[in-house]
Structure 1
């Protein structure tokens, strides 16, 4: 079902995004905006400190790339709260 709502990005999708970012926002050579968000959770049993983050709470990380129209292109959900957003991005399929 994920491919119905969030199809795998193709070269054409990236080219269209780059064109729209330049035309709409004046950002040449941009194919997406990346950001991560810590989502607070209840500490999972036997998880140790994996989910403990610098915000002094337990969290998982939602990492996403959106296009020029604010629609999701790629998402990575479930990164450990202890990991940096860059580390999560680098080890994800997006990175």
Structure 2
């Protein structure tokens, strides 16, 4: 099954990166200051393949699914890391 994740970073070296399972609020403006210059966030949507039985808990921003060792819950960062590493059941689409 595919889900959409939301990726936020800034166009400068070593800037922080954030990922979310729910969209960022359109009313929020995110900025980052480096070397005396202010950068606006760059937002993009990423399609990620996750296990077929996965469910989103949007209130807690978690992905829940049945793993080999029972029920699993992962944060958006963990899901993104699983997908980029190609962990079983996860990949970037």
Tell me whether the two structures share a fold, i.e. TM-score over 0.5: no
With the length of structure 2 as denominator, give the TM-score of the two structures: 0.26
Report which of the two structures shows the higher radius of gyration computed on alpha carbons: 1
Higher relative contact order (CA 8 A, sep 6+): 2
Q: Normalized per residue, which structure has more strand?
A: 2
Q: Normalized per residue, which structure has more helix?
A: 1
With the length of structure 1 as denominator, give the TM-score of the two structures: 0.26
